[in-house]
Amino acid sequence: MFVDEARISVHGGDGGNGCISFRREKFVPKGGPDGGDGGHGGSVVLVADPELNTLLTFRYQPVYRADRGRHGEGALRTGRSGADLEVRVPVGTVVFDEEKASILADLAHAGDRFVAASGGRGGRGNARFATSTNQAPRRHDPGEEGAGRVLHLELKLLADVGLVGFPNAGKSTLLSRISAAKPKIADYPFTTLAPMLGVARVGDERTIVVADIPGLIEGAHAGAGLGDRFLRHVERCRVLLHLVDPTAHEREIGPAIEAIDRELAAYSERLAAKPQILVLTKKDALQDDAVIQAAEREARRLGRPLHLVSAVTGEGLPALLRAAAAAVAGLDAA
């Protein structure tokens, strides 16, 4: 089950109290203060883990609390500090405050860490307050409370290439042919209800990660259809394959391409600026050469490369993968 949003409550451990104690030893009639400090509370730390790909765990366990620090003891013994609680999250997790008003952290790389809730500081024991004029202090500090807050987690998948287009444009079928991924494929809109990743091999050594995004419709940036719930996953993709179904008679090639471009631009200027490769799918079912000519005109107008492919027969797929890999490599070299 793919879950890309979650709300969690995090609490740092409380600090231990300082101790009030006086030295009591035989033959030492005037022992001084020897109360130790309390230990510090542990912190809750989010750690990006490449082995995770969903936030499902946080639906069942939404509360995380680190260990508290132990109280100080006599003989100047400091209480043990509480252990930090490391919470693993998928790479690509964005951490927001409770109201999603600001981004607190973007854990975009494996091993990235974010202290979500700091532990409280341990209190001082009475030995800390001894002075020349106050040699028997009976003062100590209580431990500080650990920080606590509610966080909103949002996962944005990391991929080299993202597949975008209207529902039934052939995205899932394409992913199933170029990788070992097994997306659901059916002859009706919105077959894909969650993003899916696949690894495509280009040649003998090169591989690229491809993300299949649920189909977009007009108004997606405002929440229509599956809407902006999944558009954010495309933000992480470096190159977009814009798939167009030439057999869809309800819309012409030009308006179909422009509609998706408008949705990407309305959601994010950064998203609209990503390199795109136009892909005319279902070539095996195409019988009208005028559609191909229209697609070529649009590709020239937009300055984008155009590939004609058939996921059923495999025609055009090797060339498309080489073009996608080259586009990603070009960004690496830039």
In sequence order, the β-bridge partners of residue 198 are 210
pLDDT tens profile 99-120:
888 999 999 899 999 999 999 9
pLDDT tens profile 286-330:
777 888 888 899 999 999 999 999 988 889 999 999 999 999 888
Residue type, 62: P
| Alpha-carbon span 208 to 44, nearest angstrom | 34
**Domains (ranges, CATH) in the chain?**
1-155 (2.70.210.12), 161-333 (3.40.50.300)
H or E stretch covering 276? strand 276-280
3-state secondary structure 7-56: EEEEECCCCCCCCCCECCECCECCCCECCCCCCCCCCEEEEEECCCCCCC
Tell me the whole-structure pTM to 2 decimals: 0.74
DSSP codes of every residue in 135-157: SS-----PPPPPPEEEEEEEE--
More confident site: 144 or 192: 144
Give helix 289-302 / helix 253-267 axis angle, nearest 10°.
Answer: 40
Grouping H, G, I as helix, E, B as strand and the rest as coil, residue 225 is coil
Looking at residue 105, its pLDDT comes to: 95
Which of the 8 DSSP states describes residue 5?
E
